[in-house]
Amino acid sequence: MVVQRQYLTYICTNLELIYIRKMIKVSDIAKKKVIELMSEDGFNPENDYVRVGVKSGGCSGLSYDLKFDKEQLEADKVFEDNGVKIIVDKKSFLYLIGTTLEYKGGLNGAGFVFNNPNAQRTCGCGESFSL
């Protein structure tokens, strides 16, 4: 019984490490824009976070939420990629595994784009998705 618990703890710990490594990637262009916008808004890119989440809404059922935050909550998962510190709430965690945060600019507008391999359907604007 004790060996089984230790084995399950080992598996859970290693799965969490796999999720952390594959959680959210940040492209070089998105990193530059995050640093620029955080600085403009009074956040310190070296100490503060980009909070990424998923909420109900949008034309496909779920939409992405991105904002800057100075505090990490107890239930948050913390990740870092390309020098950007990211926090994700517990509810959004599984929806975002493997997502790449990018920044695109163009004639149709500029903004952050989530390339989410878990999304089975997305809307035309790219701001909402469904699983």
CATH number of the domain encompassing residue 98: 2.60.300.12
Q: Which domain holds residue 95?
A: 2-130
Q: How many domains in the chain?
A: 1
Cα 52 to Cα 1, 18, 102, distances in angstroms: 39, 19, 13
- Cα separation, 65 vs 130, in Å, equals 14
By CB neighbour count within 10 A (0-12 exposed, 13-18 middle, 19+ buried), where does 111 fall?
middle
| pTM across the whole model | 0.74
For residue range 69-98, list pLDDT tens digits in order: 999 999 999 989 999 999 999 888 888 889
Which segments of the chain have a pLDDT < 70?
Answer: 1-22, 58-60, 107-108, 120-131
